[in-house]
Structure 1
Amino acid sequence: MFSWSNCSAMKQFDLLLVRLKLPTFCVGKSMDDKSKSSTQKGTFDGSRKDINAAIDRIREFTGTKIIFWDLREPFIENLYKPSVSQSRLEAVIEPLDVELNQLCDIIVEPLRDRVVTSLLQASLEGLLRVLLDGGPSRVFYPTDAKLLEEDLEILKEFFISGGDGLPRGVVENQVARVRLVVKLHGLETRELVEDLRSSSGKLGADNQTLLRILCHRADSEASQFVKKQYKIPKSSA
């Protein structure tokens, strides 16, 4: 299992950080010195913003690449196929652990939490893709909600890593949006349909989310409602 203590910075990156540290400018007494110092400070402030923006883009790309490309087959394509009970998230944790350890071999300590938070966010986006846009080969039953909740806890604790990983509060905040979707999967079809018809928002979700859950629901009531409500023609098969 991944341990934060395994994270080590490469010497090249250490040197790079040293080179990127902003110099301290001495403010002279003359107006020319003050003007020059102000110009230099503005230049380096702009450089700092550009560097931070570049770091943000790289970390976002890194998390997305790992989940949606490197782990696409076990995560995006095969998780919960043919059913939740037969393909649990535990199967994804090992390759995710390998990717995270490899990532921590090349990132510097000051960037660790930012990069790993991006991986957490990408993991949750991947899970939402599976739960809401999983395609016709994925179906969910209300009874699956308990297993889905267990899997979400496994993913959460993986990133907390027994207190050595990301702060628990940060992870909990990120996980909250997926937890709502899992909760909705546990509701009866009748409850989902009633909330969708009334657009009351009582269940805490928008109509699009409710519709996607109904489209993945393996019962005739959900199928009939979706076809009738949205005028979907019957299959010719």
Structure 2
Amino acid sequence: MNIRFELSQASCQDGIRQLCDATAHKVVFSYLSHVLLDMLYVGGAASNRVEPLLRELHSTLGVISGIMRNEPRDHLITALMKASFDGFLLVLLAGGPTRAFTLQDAQIIENDFRALRGLYLANGDGLPHELVDKASSEVKSVLPLLRTDTESLIQRFKQAITERQGSPTKSSFPKPPRVPAQWSANDPNTILRVLCYRYDEAATKFLKKTYKFPKKL
């Protein structure tokens, strides 16, 4: 029997990665949804912070470390890290009507994300620093938008539209899109979502005027 195994190792590695990705997303977006999607920053950034999520993730990491070894364990923890970072951004940019953020909330959110990153670094005993930095780059690129004042955000949004579509008209501003493949601080839709969740009068006025929302909305 002529059996060829040249690609078997690569196929096994790819299968492990896919299984880890699926498991991590199941854990973060299903099993831990009560402390992430349903709780984090609901009603205000100061009232529902990241600690419950950290406790649940810490417990999950303990289980993983107790039953898995070496490379498969690291694959799963890395996938869990990426999924939790994605979930964190989802809360900030697509978290629904129970969330709104002020400029003052930016520091709270940055501190919480620093704590979330620290969970995976584990004071040098966790994942490599370079790996955590790479996985967190998308979040870190968006966080500065949260501490940018509203008028500057509006100007940045208009500039981003101009760079992509030419001089904007009232009809050329994009409506809030579905969740994109990747958030970006230079993406007009990402900036627009920050404005949508900005809890101040200037942002509300801009959105109502631009998209002709009812004045009493």
TM-score (norm 2): 0.84
Are positions 1:69 and 2:50 aligned together? no
Query: In structure 2, what is the equivalent of residue 83 of structure 1?
Result: 44
Q: Which has the higher helix share?
A: 1
Q: Which has the larger radius of gyration?
A: 1
- What is the deviation of 1:210? 0.4
Query: In structure 2, what is the equivalent of residue 220 of structure 1?
Result: 201
- What is the deviation of 1:169? 1.3
Q: Write the letter of the residue equivalent to 1:52.
A: Q
**Cα RMSD (Å):** 1.9
Query: In structure 2, what is the equivalent of residue 29 of structure 1?
Result: none
- Partners of 2:82 and 2:215 lie apart in 1 by 38
- What is the deviation of 1:157? 1.0
Query: In structure 1, what is the equivalent of residue 186 of structure 2?
Result: 205
Are positions 1:231 and 2:192 aligned together? no
- Partners of 1:66 and 1:222 lie apart in 2 by 35
Query: In structure 1, what is the equivalent of residue 98 of structure 2?
Result: 137
- Partners of 2:113 and 2:200 lie apart in 1 by 24
- Partners of 2:185 and 2:195 lie apart in 1 by 15
- What is the deviation of 1:172? 1.4
Are positions 1:107 and 2:68 aligned together? yes
Query: In structure 2, what is the equivalent of residue 3 of structure 1?
Result: none
- Partners of 1:81 and 1:205 lie apart in 2 by 26
- Partners of 1:86 and 1:112 lie apart in 2 by 34
- What is the deviation of 1:224? 1.7
Unmatched tracts of structure 2, length 5 or more: 164-183
Query: Larger RCO: Structure 1 or Structure 2 (Cα < 8 Å, ≥ 6 residues apart)?
Result: 1
Q: Secondary structure at the match of 1:83?
A: coil
Following superposition of structure 1 onto structure 2, how do residues 1-237 of structure 1 map, counting pairs within 5 Å?
Answer: 40=3, 43-199=4-160, 204-234=185-215
What is the percent sequence identity of the aligned residues?
Answer: 32
Name whichever of 99-108 and 181-190 sits farther off: 99-108
The number of equivalent residue pairs is 196
- What is the deviation of 1:126? 0.5
- Partners of 1:138 and 1:45 lie apart in 2 by 52
TM-score (norm 1): 0.77
Is the 2:185–2:191 contact (alpha carbons within 8 Å) kept by the matching residues of 1? no
Q: Write the letter of the residue equivalent to 2:211.
A: Y
Query: In structure 2, what is the equivalent of residue 8 of structure 1?
Result: none
Is the 2:43–2:98 contact (alpha carbons within 8 Å) kept by the matching residues of 1? yes
Q: Write the letter of the residue equivalent to 2:128.
A: P
For residues 122-147 of structure 1, what are the alpha-carbon distances to aligned partners after superposition, in whole Å with 9 as ceiling and x for unaligned?
A: 00010011000011110001111111
Q: Write the letter of the residue equivalent to 1:134.
A: G
- Partners of 1:45 and 1:140 lie apart in 2 by 53
